[in-house]
Amino acid sequence: MGLIDAIKNLLDDSSDRPTADDPLGDIVRLRMKDADEDAQRLVIAVAGLLACVAFADQVYHPKEAQVVREELERLKGLSATAVDAICAVLAGQIGRVVASGDHTWVRDLRELTDRDQRLEILDVLLNLAAADDEFSISEANYLRRLATALGLEQADYNAAQARHREKLTTLT
C-alpha cells in the first residue's frame, strides 16, 4: 500500500461504518466497546425494537426519529456519539435493520430484564407508535404480538395502550 492509499484509509475511517449483515449490532459494539456484552445486547435490543415499531408502517417519520433519539439518550451508558451513530444507521438502513427480525432482541430482553422493565419498554414503544400522530393497524398488531413475545399479557398491553389513549385515537 502506497502513501496515498494509507492517507485515504486514515481519512476514510471505515471502522466506523456498520457492515451489511448487522449494521445496528456492529455500530453499538463499536461505540460501546468498553461496555460488557450484556449492556451491548440490551442497547441493541431496545434500539432494534424502536426501529421495528417506527418502521412497522413502512415509513420512518421525522417525529418517530426524534422519539427514537430521545429514548436512546435515556439509556444508561450510551454516549451522545453512540446515540448519533445509532440514529444515523437507522436513518440510512432502517429497512435492513428491521428485516433482520426481532427474535434475538426479544430473547435478550426476556433474559436481561425483569417484567417491570419490559412493561416500561412496551410503554416507550407505544409512545413511539403514536409519535407521528397516527397509530396504524400494523403498529397495533406488531405491538400486541411483541407484548406476548416479551412475556407480557394482553391485559398489560391494554393497560399500556390506555395510558396513551389520547395519542392513539387515530387508527389507520
Mean pLDDT, rounded, for 122-147: 89
Domains of the chain: 20-163 (1.10.3680)
- Cβ 138 vs Cβ 56: under 8 Å: yes
- Residue 160 has a pLDDT of 87
Q: Which residue has the higher pLDDT, 18 or 34?
A: 34
Mean model confidence pLDDT for the chain: 86
In the predicted structure, residue 115 carries a pLDDT above the cut 70 = yes
For residue 94, which of 122, 121, 128 has the smallest C-alpha distance? 128
DSSP string, 87-111: HHHHHHHHHHHHHT-SHHHHHHHHH
Predicted local distance difference test score (pLDDT) of residue 6: 47
- What is the predicted pLDDT for the residue at 113? 96
pLDDT, tens only, 22-56: 999 999 999 999 999 999 999 999 999 999 999 99
Range 109-138 average pLDDT? 91
Contact 87, 62 (CB under 8 A): no
Q: Is pLDDT above 50 for 116?
A: yes
* pLDDT surpasses 70 at 150: yes
Torsion of CA 72, 78, 83, 86, to 10 degrees: -90
| pLDDT for position 132 | 80
* Residue pLDDT, tens place only, 53-112: 999 989 899 999 999 999 999 988 899 999 999 999 999 999 999 998 899 999 999 999
What was the pLDDT predicted at 135? Answer: 80
Distance separating alpha carbons of residues 15 and 35, to the nearest angstrom:
18
